[in-house]
């Protein structure tokens, strides 16, 4: 049987898009570039309790811990924000990726492992793919993917292959323009005074540092910054922070990693029948680097758009996801910019001022980790 949809990348978002495509009856193949699936746990995996159900992923078996709020710190200023109900959940990222891909397989998708996507060759109507003409012709954009497991002919090529997307490179998408480099270490036997709160450190230029409990005595400590040269310096400072030092007494590091996070979506995420989603598209919150909720909701839109096109309608993924979610992602980007450029942002004065102006109440009552303002507080998204 000819493959209708080829999803490159067998991680959380590749699994999400393949699940919905398969449920819609489209024959879908997922390619993994390695013997297994996923992102090798390179993620803090703290996800909003309100956003997780929107992902469509069977996430519950991967939940490790509940978070009720945050201690936000900047210099020697501190603001505690706490809610009565869990605001976020911390997950086992290895398991989340496996669950997402297994769900796609259960829905009928075929997983090919050790099958790195290498090259894309449009084989029909190459000009249409370039210009967007004949968008209603469902057969206009067939192509051949060259993979480590051999060539695969497909109607739709979906790049869910992460920040270093080879699909984006092969199909000449505009580059990602804004990203940060991150380090994270996971520590066990940590002495956590408030294991239901995350620690957020705002005095790291460009992004922030964090300590996220993943259990009563397990903590994920990390930071991200646009300046890779200063990463080691910031890491050393963070580990000496008076809020971190006591929790690491007697703790031991069980794993650590470096990775890159895109902070701005690409200028283009669809070219003919080739679409990018998740980190490959840069669908990530610029305030936190969190990409699972927005990647997954965009994956749902992508599967709907492909199905609609296969039924004879236009392939409108780019327009639809931007209409629904680009506004929220832009909101995160504007907050990020404000923090990067405000003279107060990296000082305790900024945090004290924010608190004095009612910021604590705003965060405790109305803030949403994904859509910035909670729906019931007037969000229009
Ligand atoms: C330090 C850090 C902390 C983070 N913390 C959070 C957090 O707490 N909450 C949150 O929501 N987000 C977080 N993120 C972001 C989150 O991890 C990503 O947004 C998410 O992983 C994106 O998923 P994805 O499926 O698009 O890409 P990825 O998870 O990167 O998966 C891409 C997949 O494609 C495969 N692949 C790559 N190239 C090829 C190829 N040529 N052929 C076949 N397969 C290929 C890869 O092996 C991988 O399996 C964090 C990121 C980092 C770096």
Cα 46 to ligand 1 centroid, rounded to whole Å: 14
The Cα–Cα gap between 78 and 80 comes to 7
Bridge-based pairing of strands 3-8 and 28-31 is parallel
pLDDT value, residue 140: 47
CA dihedral over 262, 119, 29, 135, signed as positive or negative: positive
Q: Look up residue 316 and give its two tokens.
A: 């409108």
Nearest alpha-carbon partner for 286 in 235, 339, 236, 336: 336
- C-beta of residue 121 within 8 angstroms of C-beta of residue 143: yes
38 ligand 1 Cβ < 6 A = yes
pLDDT value, residue 74: 84
- C-beta of residue 247 within 8 angstroms of C-beta of residue 192: yes
Phi, psi of 305 (to 5 degrees): -65, -40
What's the length of the chain?
Answer: 381
- C-beta of residue 220 within 8 angstroms of C-beta of residue 185: yes
Cα 171 to ligand 1 centroid, rounded to whole Å: 20
Nearest alpha-carbon partner for 28 in 168, 140, 160, 118: 160
Nearest alpha-carbon partner for 94 in 11, 206, 218, 180: 11
Residue-wise pLDDT for 84-93, tens only, equals: 999 999 999 9
pLDDT value, residue 3: 61
- C-beta of residue 359 within 8 angstroms of C-beta of residue 79: yes
Q: Which one of 182, 206, 289 would you pick to mutate in the ligand 1 pocket, going by the greatest count of ligand atoms within 8 A of its CB?
A: 289
Q: Which one of 6, 7, 8, 9 would you pick to mutate in the ligand 1 pocket, going by the greatest count of ligand atoms within 8 A of its CB?
A: 9
The Cα–Cα gap between 203 and 243 comes to 13
pLDDT value, residue 347: 60
Q: Which one of 33, 147, 166, 179 would you pick to mutate in the ligand 1 pocket, going by the greatest count of ligand atoms within 8 A of its CB?
A: 33
Residues of the chain with pLDDT under 50: 1, 126-140, 376-381
261 ligand 1 Cβ < 6 A = yes
- What residue's CA is closest to ligand 1, atom 19? 291
- Cα–Cα distances (Å) from 258 to 68, 229, 263, in that order, read 27, 13, 16
Phi, psi of 292 (to 5 degrees): -75, -45
Q: In what order do the strands lie in the sheet with 77-82?
A: 77-82, 69-74, 197-201, 209-215, 218-225, 179-188, 252-262
What is the residue whose two structure tokens read 């979906």?
Answer: 158
Q: List beta partners, residue 186.
A: 220, 255
pLDDT value, residue 276: 98
CA dihedral over 124, 316, 303, 330, signed as positive or negative: positive
161 ligand 1 Cβ < 6 A = yes
- C-beta of residue 141 within 8 angstroms of C-beta of residue 171: no
Kindly report the number of other CB atoms within 10 A of residue 300's CB atom: 19
SS3 content of the chain, % helix, strand, coil (to 5): 35, 30, 40
222 ligand 1 Cβ < 6 A = yes
9 ligand 1 Cβ < 6 A = yes
The Cα–Cα gap between 219 and 189 comes to 9
- C-beta of residue 63 within 8 angstroms of C-beta of residue 46: no
Nearest alpha-carbon partner for 211 in 179, 183, 181: 183
The Cα–Cα gap between 257 and 184 comes to 6
- What residue's CA is closest to ligand 1, atom 12? 290
Cα 77 to ligand 1 centroid, rounded to whole Å: 33
- Which of ligand 1's atoms lies nearest the C-alpha of 38? 49
What is the residue whose two structure tokens read 């749902």?
Answer: 300
pTM, rounded to two decimals: 0.92
370 ligand 1 Cβ < 6 A = no
278 ligand 1 Cβ < 6 A = yes
pLDDT value, residue 151: 93
Cα 302 to ligand 1 centroid, rounded to whole Å: 18
Nearest alpha-carbon partner for 122 in 114, 131, 113: 131
Cα 124 to ligand 1 centroid, rounded to whole Å: 31
What is the residue whose two structure tokens read 């270093």?
Answer: 164
pLDDT value, residue 377: 39
Which segments of the chain are extended strands (E)? 3-8, 28-31, 46-48, 63-67, 69-74, 77-82, 88-91, 110-112, 117-122, 143-147, 150-159, 179-188, 197-201, 209-215, 218-225, 252-262, 270-271, 274-276, 367-368, 372-373
pLDDT value, residue 77: 82
Residue-wise pLDDT for 214-245, tens only, equals: 999 999 999 999 989 999 999 999 999 999 99
Tell me which of 3.40.1190.10, 3.50.50.60, 1.10.3720.10, 3.60.15.10 is the CATH number of domain 3-43+95-177+264-332: 3.50.50.60
Cα 162 to ligand 1 centroid, rounded to whole Å: 5
290 ligand 1 Cβ < 6 A = yes
Residue-wise pLDDT for 12-23, tens only, equals: 999 999 999 999
Q: Which one of 163, 291, 332 would you pick to mutate in the ligand 1 pocket, going by the greatest count of ligand atoms within 8 A of its CB?
A: 291
- Which of ligand 1's atoms lies nearest the C-alpha of 97? 29
């Amino acid at each position: 049987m000819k493959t209708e949809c080829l999803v490159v990348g067998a991680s959380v978002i590749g699994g999400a898009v393949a699940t919905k495509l398969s449920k819609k009856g489209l024959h879908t193949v997922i390619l993994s570039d390695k013997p297994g699936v996923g992102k090798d746990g390179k993620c803090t995996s703290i996800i909003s309790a309100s956003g997780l159900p929107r992902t469509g992923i069977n996430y519950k078996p991967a939940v490790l811990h509940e978070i009720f709020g945050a201690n936000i710190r900047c210099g020697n200023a501190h603001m505690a924000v706490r809610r009565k109900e869990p605001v976020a959940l911390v997950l086992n990222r290895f398991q989340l990726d496996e669950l997402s891909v297994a769900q796609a397989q259960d829905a009928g998708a075929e997983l090919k492992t050790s099958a790195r996507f290498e090259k894309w060759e449009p084989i029909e109507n190459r000009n249409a793919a370039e210009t967007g003409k004949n968008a209603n012709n469902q057969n206009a954009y067939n192509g051949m993917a060259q993979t480590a497991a051999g060539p695969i002919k497909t109607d739709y090529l979906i790049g869910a292959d992460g920040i270093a997307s080879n699909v984006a490179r092969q199909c000449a998408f505009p580059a990602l323009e804004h990203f940060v480099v991150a380090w994270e270490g996971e520590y066990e036997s940590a002495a956590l005074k408030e294991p239901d709160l995350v620690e957020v450190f705002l005095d790291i230029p460009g992004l922030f540092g964090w300590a996220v409990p993943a259990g009563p005595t397990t903590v994920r400590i990390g930071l991200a910054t646009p300046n890779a040269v200063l990463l080691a310096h910031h890491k050393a400072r963070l580990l000496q922070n008076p809020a971190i030092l006591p929790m690491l007494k007697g703790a031991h590091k069980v794993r650590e990693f470096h990775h890159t996070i895109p902070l701005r979506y690409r200028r283009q995420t669809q070219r003919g029948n080739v679409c990018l989603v998740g980190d490959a598209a840069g669908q990530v919150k610029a305030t936190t680097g969190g990409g699972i909720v927005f990647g997954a909701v965009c994956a749902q839109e992508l599967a709907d758009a492909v199905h609609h096109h296969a039924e004879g309608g236009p392939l409108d993924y780019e327009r639809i996801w931007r209409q629904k979610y680009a506004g929220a992602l832009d909101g995160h980007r504007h907050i990020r910019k404000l923090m990067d450029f405000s003279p107060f942002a990296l000082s305790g004065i900024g945090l004290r001022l924010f608190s004095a102006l009612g910021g604590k109440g705003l965060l405790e009552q109305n803030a949403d980790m994904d859509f910035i303002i909670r729906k019931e507080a007037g969000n229009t998204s």
